[in-house]
Structure 1
Amino acid sequence: MRLIDVEVFLERERQIMEERNVDRGTKPVLKELDDTVTDYSILSHRWINNDEVDYKEMTKLAKMENRDEIRGRSGYQKIVKGCQRAKGDGLEWLWVDTCCIDKRNSTELSEALNSMFRWYQNSKRCYAYLHDVNDFPVTPDPERFAASEGWPEWFSRGWTLQELIAPTDLQFFNKDWELIGEKRNLASTLEKITRVPSQVLADGLTSYCPSVAQVMSWAADRKTTRVEDRAYSLAGLLDVNMPMLYGEGKKAFLRLQQEVLCKSTDQTIFAWNPTEGTPQTCGVLAGDPSHFRDCHDIIQMESRELCWRLPELRFVDVKNSLTRGTLPMWTSEMQAFHSFITTNVGIQVWFPIKRYPGCPLVLQLVLACRRGGSLWPVTINVVPWRSKCYRFVGEVGWNPLPGFYEYSQLVLTRELTGAPTGIVIDEVDGVVALLRGKCAAMAGTKVDGRNIRPVGVTIAEIHHITRQVPEISVDIIAVLRFLCLLPYICIFYAIIAGWTSWPAFAVAWLAIILFWILSEVSTIIPFTCRCTESASPPGEYVINSDAEIVLLRGEERAVASIIRGETILPLQSLRFSRQLTLAAHVALIFGEFLADSSTAMVTLLELQAVATMITHLVLLVRVWVPLRNWAAIQALRQPKLTKYTFGSRGSGVVFALLLLRTEKAEGVLHELLPVPNSKEWRKWKAVVLDRIRRRGDFDFDSSEWDDGTWTDTEKEDLIGLFQDACDAYRVFKTHFMQSVS
């Protein structure tokens, strides 16, 4: 740590003022010392551009021709006043960031920035110079301090946050260097100005142990000259070290969060709030400290507390529907679930999750943190996409499925870019899977063209949304009859034999079977009603697979009804009814064996017992089948389906993009057709996307792309690709004319 020798500096200043010359035998003004064993003071101030004194000017001042100009700067006067204060306080050394760091040396600069919090923390006294006030402010003044939210500039700067928190002894001075207050006496006022709790200001970070989200919230509205400093100024507060790479822009804040994840299990780092400019799908890490503006009261939860606050947890893989085990109570091993594993793919961690009814796009994720005034944990939504999960900040419009939380290991993407468009659905279940299967089984209109990799493209016109009027289709009735065949046989035996052995048996058995059928019907019965004029604006999704592309078109609420299913009875009630039915069934089995078997119907009773046992096994299997895989299945009420079969996937994807009404054409193209990173594919993509955006014709002329650098093979490939696009455009025009006629 390089410090100013207060006595030497003041003596040099006296010589310059009185004698205009400096004794060549004067000691160096700056000296390297160990901050852990040296008593020193430190200056905190707001930098003024082009008015500060740097390292070279500080050391070479006596020999400089422009030393009078340097000494006249406000930055130099701050050093003089700071040294005078330090001398008056009996301190021999002073540190000032403007002149004690040689910023020409990037290694020294990086080391200093990483050490700065410790340097302020180890100082005996810190002088905070407020250059724009006469008295310490107690109320905001928006007119005077319009650029800093009504408070002096010192309170709005990024670096001064750690300079406020780190020192034990902090004194405030006005523009005339008069003492106007001390941190220990102004803690409550400072809390109102900065949102930093008074306990932190009084006792430091160690005693308060704030969460990552709380620390970020204190810096949410602070400004820095360089965008990278918004991240670098928080490193010390979060107890991390990181290389300082000026020029990386907002990536600095991403790197800061990654460093925090490497040494902390604090999940509040994921509890940030989106702003107006946040895309609907994005990385799970915040792009800027401003996303933590409303996180000042978010605190961590221990794994034991999280387990107590949630219903019964189950181990489950996101891609595996079968329950693997149960966590009836907290165990010490559960603490490991809060650890982060950072890989080249993303952040691997266990979370309790819930799904939304029939929605393959969004999962609700439970974080091990809560707001100070609440007992319940904070939740966020994520979108699984090709082995990674992205943050989803859009409106889901549905409550999660009631019932169990599932402890599952997820891989969260840490990148700020590369998020899915939210339009393409790869993993499907419920009614979406039924629709895709139905479209795949259809015979579509075959399109003339190259036959390389056939793909079907189906336009599904959705005109209904789920809500009120229950209707049972013929298919559902047929399925119910099949499911209930075995119980009907058991009822037959109960009427013939059971009545003689136990009169109440037949009635009870019949009631159980009817109750079971009711739960089955209530689960798969669809709700449909026609869209009203108040429906939301149009919305579209694309269901994607290797050989089938289904384009959902219609009103947004109508499309959402296909993506997100709903049942008559809550799934938790259905699960409870199944378990209740199973328990009653067990009681009947034991009652049957205890009944009087001395009658002539003993053979029929034995057959009835066997049939009852078989039925019990069937019910037992049905109880443990996860409800989310089948309970949200609904009838589609015959949407209008129009299918075309293209000879190549490229032409099918171009056709789908021409039909889509989206500004995310490039993202959808990448998701439906991952383009190889070759010269001809890049050229084809650029030309086709330009045509799609402009809604121009697809008459491609070789002069648009042939610059004379293509080989014969590349030309042949490009001509084939453009021919696929022309085939798609030709079908699009035909389909459009038919739809408007």
Structure 2
Amino acid sequence: MRLIDVEVFLERERQIKEGNVDRGTKPVLKELDDATTDYSILSHRWVGNEVNYKEMTKLAKMENRDEIRERSGYQKIVKSCERAKEDGLKWLWVDTCCIDKRNSTELSEAINSMFRWYQNSKKCYAYLHDVAAAGFPTSCDTGEYPGSSGWPEWFSRGWTLQELIAPTDLQFFNKVWQPIGDKRNLSTTLEKITRVPSGILEEGLDSDRPSVAQIMSWAADRKTTRDEDRAYSLMGLVGINMPMLYGEGEKAFLRFQHEIMRKSNDQTIFAWNPTSETPEASGVLADKPSHFRDCHDIIRIKPEEFHSMLRAMSFDGVSFYDLNPWREFWPSWKFTLADVEESHISTVADVGIRVRLPFIPYPGYPLVSKVVLACKKRDSSTPITIDVVCWRSIFYRFTGAVGWHPLSDSYQYSKVTLAYEHTGAPSGFVIDKPDGVAATLREVCAIEPRVADGGNPQHFSVTRAETHHVVDERLRILALLTYYLCLCAVISTIFLLGITLGGHCSWFACGEAVLLLSCLFWTSLEVSAITPVVYPRTENTLPPRNYILKFRDEIVVLTGDQRAITSITRAETIFPLQTLRTMRVVAVILQAIPFAALMKVPTDGNLVSFSLLFAQFLTMVVIQIIWIIERQKLLRYHALILALGRPKLTKYTFGSREPAVVLALLLSGTEKADEVMNELSLTQDSKAWKKWKTIVLAHIKNGGRFNVESSDWDDGTWTGTEKENLNRLFQDARKAYQVFEEHFKESVSQNVR
């Protein structure tokens, strides 16, 4: 680091005052090692008339040296040198003149080293230029300090936060350089002003290592001249280094958080509070430090504590873990300490942050889940949670309104990718990978006869599914009953096999009994699998939107009663799909057990025995045939009718994707038409497509008829091919509006009313 030689500087100042300018004086600045040199350091608020590096080194040779010496910035250096001399220190560092800011490499190195330089200093002088009193201010005074929340301006600046925390010995001076206190003696007052705990002010960061969210909260209301400095001024406090890129603006804070995640697994960085300006779907990292304003008491949780908290965690007074009667056998609830420890390990990639986290879906919102973070409020016994929304396997922070509480029996522990920023965030209307009952709707729509044909063999369909039915709660009771029947069948089979192997039962009798039990198991399993469930309080969750189901060659727009839409988008079968596959394998094994009885057939040729065995074998074959031949489609179709009645389906088939997307936007009536169009369309970067999109969105917003003439868009810069493409696209949009007007407009208007 480059330091001011206190003796040389003061001697030069004395000579200039006496008029004896020695142009050959010793250098005022010298390069030294901060780890082995005893030096003092100045902390101050820049006021615009500071002394820079060139002026400091060339002062004796400059014609305007008297003007420079009269600056308040120069007088700060003089007073600091005099104070350092009194304290027996030969060297002083001042940021305004000890860094050659013309050299970007030197500036970057200085900013990355600044926390360490303040930390290694023997004395730090904090100059409060706006404090006239002989004592340190102890109460907020907006009259005296109107521009800095009632406290001296030094406490409102971004860079002075690390200058407050890093030095071991920090002394405060008023505007006339009278000492008014030191950091240790004023720690209680300083905590009130800055929200930095007094223990950290007295003993340093290592005494009680704060979380990232806590450090960010201290900087939430601080200001810097450059947006980038809001991030750069915090680097030393979290122990990271990164290159300076002045000109990147607020992106510096995002890059700063990237670097934190590369070095730390501190999940408090996700616990920021959204504001009214935050998009409904955004990245999981905050845009600015002010989002952490109320995070001063958020602390990290160790894996062991997090593990116990997850088991005891509750909503509405009921433990998630206790809600599942078969939690010890249910794979999604078998989380271990190893799982929790893995959640404390994250990987930073180009697409986002990969981390393993516990998820709880919301009722009525198929894309939104609640995520449990490994952090908590200091006095709380439960972890902090945030909402996320998934789009194309990437999870974004969700700040919109959601249901009353998450689903208790859909708990998952999985590795996910969290998006850095809101670029590419979903609209929240389009379901990209429908499952459960929503997935069955696609098969129903596939066999629905279309209203009209776009005249192209490559069909792309849009179906409006209107439903006003809600699942009967009695179906839930039926599903639970069959669930327990499945369990009884498995337990009984294991018991029978045990007593048969023990010689207490014949293989023939065992085979007959197992056949009956396997039939019971199979029937109960299939009934459970096809019975959708409306979870408790779902009817209180009324999503203020119409969802769009996106498939490869089909778009389904859900409209109608919001409770019915909730039932389609969020209703689940009593068995999760992955568990259902496992259980069907078990059913096959159970049905194969009767073959063991064939190996034990009596040799006396008893006709009754042979008849029973043949009936047993025939029954098993019939069950397998029923299972294989179109079983899933028939049962799913039956489930949809049983659960929701027959939805009113209106379908139109186009020859390309673009008119289908336009019709879907018109049917949904969404205010986020821009985002929804991006999600439904294939990726398009051509100039013609972008122009078409802009004009089409304007017509959708204004309710136009898409009567677009070439004069509306042709400015003479388009090629012949581009004009041809644009004309085709506008014809497609016009066709979509005609279909909407002819077949859908009246019913959509009635639905809106």
Structure 1 spans left out of the alignment, 5+ residues: 315-321, 499-505, 586-599, 619-628
Query: 2:464–2:556: 8 Å Cα contact kept in structure 1?
Result: yes
Residue in 2 that maps onto 1:470: 473
Query: 1:40–1:91: 8 Å Cα contact kept in structure 2?
Result: yes
How far did 1:126 drift?
0.4
Structure 1 residues 696 and 480 mapped into 2: Cα distance closer, same or farther (>3 Å)? Answer: same
Q: SS of the counterpart of 1:172?
A: strand
Amino acid at match of 1:715: K
Moved more, 439-448 or 220-229: 439-448
Post-superposition Cα deviations, 1:656-710, rounded to whole Å, max 9, x if no partner, equal 2223333322211111002422232223223322322333331222233334444
Query: 2:151–2:193: 8 Å Cα contact kept in structure 1?
Result: yes
How far did 1:736 drift?
5.2
Amino acid at match of 2:545: G
Q: SS of the counterpart of 2:140?
A: coil
Q: SS of the counterpart of 1:690?
A: helix
Structure 1 residues 535 and 676 mapped into 2: Cα distance closer, same or farther (>3 Å)? Answer: closer
Counterpart check, 1:75 vs 2:73:
yes
Structure 1 residues 9 and 557 mapped into 2: Cα distance closer, same or farther (>3 Å)? Answer: farther
Residue in 2 that maps onto 1:36: 35
Residue in 1 that maps onto 2:687: 679
Query: 2:335–2:413: 8 Å Cα contact kept in structure 1?
Result: no
Query: 1:358–1:431: 8 Å Cα contact kept in structure 2?
Result: no
Q: Equivalents in 1 of 2:94, 2:564: separation in Å?
A: 64
Residue in 2 that maps onto 1:129: 127
How far did 1:562 drift?
3.7
Counterpart check, 1:647 vs 2:658:
no
Post-superposition Cα deviations, 1:450-499, rounded to whole Å, max 9, x if no partner, equal x2642221223344667xx63659xx99x989x99x98xx99xx9xxx9x
Query: 1:358–1:429: 8 Å Cα contact kept in structure 2?
Result: no
Counterpart check, 1:356 vs 2:334:
no
How far did 1:25 drift?
2.7
- Write out aligned runs for 1:219-618 (5 A): 219-311=219-311, 329-331=336-338, 335-357=341-363, 359-403=365-409, 405-448=411-454, 451=456, 453-463=458-468, 470=473, 524=531, 538-554=544-560, 559-565=565-571
Counterpart check, 1:721 vs 2:729:
yes
One of 696, 701, 705 as aligned partner of 2:704: 696
Residue in 2 that maps onto 1:118: 116
Structure 1 residues 430 and 358 mapped into 2: Cα distance closer, same or farther (>3 Å)? Answer: farther
Q: Equivalents in 2 of 1:452, 1:232: separation in Å?
A: 59
Query: How many residue pairs are counted as aligned between the two chains?
Result: 676
Post-superposition Cα deviations, 1:432-462, rounded to whole Å, max 9, x if no partner, equal 223333223311211445x264222122334
Post-superposition Cα deviations, 1:349-372, rounded to whole Å, max 9, x if no partner, equal 222223334743022222222221
Q: Equivalents in 2 of 1:540, 1:326: separation in Å?
A: 32
Q: Equivalents in 2 of 1:648, 1:250: separation in Å?
A: 41
Residue in 2 that maps onto 1:167: 167
Q: SS of the counterpart of 1:383?
A: strand
How far did 1:557 drift?
5.7
Amino acid at match of 1:400: P
Query: 2:299–2:376: 8 Å Cα contact kept in structure 1?
Result: yes
Residue in 2 that maps onto 1:138: 138
How far did 1:178 drift?
0.9
CA RMSD of aligned residues (A): 4.6
Residue in 2 that maps onto 1:624: none
Counterpart check, 1:657 vs 2:662:
no
Query: 1:348–1:410: 8 Å Cα contact kept in structure 2?
Result: yes
Query: 1:129–1:173: 8 Å Cα contact kept in structure 2?
Result: yes
Structure 2 spans left out of the alignment, 5+ residues: 313-319, 322-328, 497-504, 506-512, 591-605, 625-635
Residue in 2 that maps onto 1:621: none
Structure 1 residues 546 and 249 mapped into 2: Cα distance closer, same or farther (>3 Å)? Answer: same
TM-score by length of 2: 0.79
Q: Equivalents in 2 of 1:555, 1:106: separation in Å?
A: 62
Amino acid at match of 1:305: E
Query: 2:145–2:152: 8 Å Cα contact kept in structure 1?
Result: yes
How far did 1:240 drift?
0.5
Q: Matched residues, percent identical?
A: 59
Q: SS of the counterpart of 1:446?
A: coil
Post-superposition Cα deviations, 1:188-246, rounded to whole Å, max 9, x if no partner, equal 21111111111111111112111111111111111111111110011110100011111
Amino acid at match of 2:149: E
How far did 1:167 drift?
0.2
Q: SS of the counterpart of 2:354?
A: strand
Query: 2:173–2:179: 8 Å Cα contact kept in structure 1?
Result: yes
Amino acid at match of 2:347: I
Amino acid at match of 2:701: R
Amino acid at match of 1:276: S
Q: Equivalents in 1 of 2:645, 2:144: separation in Å?
A: 65
Q: SS of the counterpart of 2:193?
A: helix
Counterpart check, 1:177 vs 2:177:
yes
Moved more, 376-385 or 223-232: 376-385
Query: 2:365–2:402: 8 Å Cα contact kept in structure 1?
Result: no
How far did 1:185 drift?
1.0
Q: SS of the counterpart of 1:290?
A: helix
Residue in 2 that maps onto 1:501: none
Residue in 1 that maps onto 2:325: none
How far did 1:556 drift?
5.5
Counterpart check, 1:64 vs 2:62:
yes
How far did 1:404 drift?
7.2
Q: Equivalents in 2 of 1:528, 1:119: separation in Å?
A: 59
Residue in 2 that maps onto 1:597: none
Query: 1:158–1:233: 8 Å Cα contact kept in structure 2?
Result: yes
Query: 2:273–2:291: 8 Å Cα contact kept in structure 1?
Result: yes
Q: SS of the counterpart of 1:310?
A: helix
Amino acid at match of 2:28: V
Counterpart check, 1:705 vs 2:703:
no
Structure 1 residues 175 and 379 mapped into 2: Cα distance closer, same or farther (>3 Å)? Answer: same
One of 69, 91, 116 as aligned partner of 2:89: 91
Q: SS of the counterpart of 1:420?
A: coil
Residue in 1 that maps onto 2:510: none
Structure 1 residues 559 and 290 mapped into 2: Cα distance closer, same or farther (>3 Å)? Answer: farther
How far did 1:181 drift?
0.9
How far did 1:143 drift?
3.2
Residue in 2 that maps onto 1:15: 15
Query: 1:311–1:404: 8 Å Cα contact kept in structure 2?
Result: no
Q: SS of the counterpart of 1:56?
A: helix
Q: SS of the counterpart of 2:370?
A: strand
Moved more, 647-656 or 139-148: 139-148
Q: SS of the counterpart of 1:222?
A: coil
How far did 1:278 drift?
0.9
Q: Equivalents in 1 of 2:560, 2:54: separation in Å?
A: 69
Amino acid at match of 1:29: V
Moved more, 376-385 or 180-189: 376-385
Structure 1 residues 66 and 471 mapped into 2: Cα distance closer, same or farther (>3 Å)? Answer: same
Residue in 1 that maps onto 2:315: none
Query: 2:364–2:403: 8 Å Cα contact kept in structure 1?
Result: no
Q: SS of the counterpart of 1:693?
A: helix
Q: Equivalents in 2 of 1:36, 1:677: separation in Å?
A: 55
Query: 1:250–1:287: 8 Å Cα contact kept in structure 2?
Result: yes
How far did 1:549 drift?
1.0
Q: Equivalents in 2 of 1:163, 1:635: separation in Å?
A: 65
Runs ≥4 residues deviating over 6 A? 322-326, 516-523, 534-537
Post-superposition Cα deviations, 1:124-159, rounded to whole Å, max 9, x if no partner, equal 010111112223122212333333222211111111
Query: 1:538–1:554: 8 Å Cα contact kept in structure 2?
Result: no
Q: SS of the counterpart of 2:389?
A: strand
Query: 1:538–1:555: 8 Å Cα contact kept in structure 2?
Result: no
Query: 1:4–1:29: 8 Å Cα contact kept in structure 2?
Result: yes
Structure 1 residues 457 and 329 mapped into 2: Cα distance closer, same or farther (>3 Å)? Answer: closer
Q: Equivalents in 2 of 1:361, 1:203: separation in Å?
A: 46
Amino acid at match of 1:540: N
Q: Equivalents in 1 of 2:708, 2:79: separation in Å?
A: 74
Structure 1 residues 388 and 78 mapped into 2: Cα distance closer, same or farther (>3 Å)? Answer: same
Residue in 2 that maps onto 1:205: 205
Q: Equivalents in 1 of 2:231, 2:692: separation in Å?
A: 40
TM-score by length of 1: 0.80
